Amino acid sequence: MSSVPGRFTGKVALVTGASRGIGFAVAERLVAEGAQVCITARKTEALEAAVETLGGKEHAMLVAGKGDDRTHHSAAVAAAVDVYGRLDVLVNNTGINPAYGPMIEQDLVAARKVFDVNVIGVVGWIKAAYDGWLRANGGAIVNIASIAGTGPAPGLGYYAASKAALIQMTQQFAFELAPNVRVNAVAPAVIKTQFARALYEGREESVAAGYALGRLGVPHDVAGAVAFFASSDADWVTGQTLIIDGGVSLMRGVG
């Protein structure tokens, strides 16, 4: 999907987990279409490099912090509004998956951390953005879920459950925040990022063979869909989750 020049001119977006991977690709796409962006992640140095790549302070700013820290949520929203004067779009990309294996065998501390960041953290971001700007002015929220949240996901149980919760929450918030705030989600399959590397590294060809389109996704495959949901092109779309999977769901039971 090619960028649409000027589609976000005069708009401001906050993208979480945006120092690399999907979050950075989303920020890059929004800037290419005219937006100014506030990006967040834990590490200041990585964010500084991302801001430079995005074109510097005229186009992007950063606020470092933890995804499950409500103080960080409020500070980032306030900073974006203070520097750029508004906040039109929130993209919830921050997510973690520190555990792998059967759910029954996982440490509950790790399970709680997954939900604190992937679910409760998203609620915190939405509340901060809503209280800080969106309640009075309207806007759009896009949540980055996962195809893992649509069914059983071997080895990824708590992560999958957290993304299933996020998909449901997308509908719930879409209902509760209408008509002034639209809330949608995307649910990617395996995207070639550092976060997902363990799912394909050393066997990418064999993994990609299970996809109808013959390849794994890349971050920009997700960014285009996020930009659509965030834009006025989707003004009559809310509560939806778009699966972005290269056709892997078509291949279940084939062969």
Backbone angles phi, psi at 154, to 5 degrees: -50, 125
Residue 137 and residue 94: Cα distance in Å, rounded?
24
Amino acid at 178: A
Torsion of CA 140, 141, 145, 147, to 10 degrees: -10
Q: Which helix (H) or strand (E) holds 221?
A: helix 219-230
* Residue numbers annotated as active site: 159
Phi-psi region of 191 (alpha: psi -120 to 50; beta: other; left: phi over 0): beta
Residue pair 225/242 in contact (Cβ under 8 Å)? The answer is: yes
Q: Which residue has the tokens 């779309």?
A: 237
Q: Which residue has the tokens 């912090």?
A: 65
